[in-house]
């Protein structure tokens, strides 16, 4: 996760991509082209590199090919059967097709024991709910995510998002 000079986390959609290291990105894209040219079924690392390449090729989050990212996560999920990969797919789907589509997928993951204490599940769910205008539910999810994270700066970011939801609904804490 990118951080400010003060160490505060910066969400992917809020990052200034002009600050990304273009030399390293070009090296990564060259390596990805070589891997893809070798033929065969793409493996775990090629799929992950292809997802990163979608982000790196876009100047802004709005220019990112979120449909391609969601499709790559689908292939990756079939390869790994990881609920965390499915959660990442839900985020991509929410951006490509709207927050309800992401929420529908993330809700299928809610009962997975591997994600029971994973703070990014309620964090993503909170984001989808906030974008849907369901601010009381979003607030609860951000607070839950904050209670699960061990990172104090992430906790502060999540609590700030919960507070924003509370203020917007007139339920300031």
- Report yes or no on 20 lying in a domain: yes
Look-up: residue for tokens 């009381």? 136
Expressed as residue numbers, the domain containing 29 is 1-85
Mean pLDDT, rounded, of the chain: 94
- Report yes or no on 30 lying in a domain: yes
Percent of the chain with pLDDT over 90: 83
Percent of the chain with pLDDT over 70: 99
Phi, psi angle pair for 2, to nearest 5°: -70, 150
Give the predicted TM-score (pTM) of the model: 0.89
Look-up: residue for tokens 């970011």? 157
Report which secondary-structure segment, H or E, holds 171.
none
- Report yes or no on 61 lying in a domain: yes
Confidence of residue 39 (pLDDT cuts 50, 70, 90): confident
Question: What's the CA gap between 48 and 84, in Å, rounded?
Answer: 13
Mapping DSSP onto H, E and C, the string for 126-154 reads HHHHHHCCCHHHHHHHHHHHHHHCCCHHH
CA nearest to 159, candidates 120, 123, 118, 113: 123
- Report yes or no on 151 lying in a domain: no
- Report yes or no on 25 lying in a domain: yes
pLDDT at 139 over 90: yes
- Report yes or no on 125 lying in a domain: no
- Report yes or no on 105 lying in a domain: no
| pLDDT (average), residues 46-67 | 95
Confidence of residue 1 (pLDDT cuts 50, 70, 90): low
Domain count for the chain: 1
- Report yes or no on 18 lying in a domain: yes
Q: Mind listing the pLDDT tens digit for each residue in 12-32?
A: 888 889 989 999 999 999 999
């Amino acid at each position: 996760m990118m951080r400010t000079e003060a160490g505060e986390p910066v969400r992917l959609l809020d990052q200034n991509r002009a600050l990304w290291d273009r030399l390293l990105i070009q090296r990564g894209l060259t390596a990805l082209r070589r891997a893809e040219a070798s033929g065969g079924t793409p493996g775990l690392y090629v799929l992950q590199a292809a997802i990163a390449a979608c982000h790196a090729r876009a100047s802004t989050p709005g220019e990112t090919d979120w449909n391609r990212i969601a499709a790559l996560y689908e292939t990756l999920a079939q390869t790994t059967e990881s609920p965390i990969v499915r959660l990442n797919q839900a985020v991509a789907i929410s951006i490509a097709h709207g927050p309800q589509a992401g929420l529908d997928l993330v809700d299928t993951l809610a009962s997975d024991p591997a994600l029971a204490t994973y703070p990014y599940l309620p964090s993503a769910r909170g984001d989808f709910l906030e974008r849907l205008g369901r601010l009381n539910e979003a607030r609860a999810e951000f607070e839950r995510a904050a209670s699960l994270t061990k990172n104090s700066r992430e906790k502060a970011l999540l609590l700030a998002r919960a507070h924003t939801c509370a203020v917007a609904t007139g339920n300031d804490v």
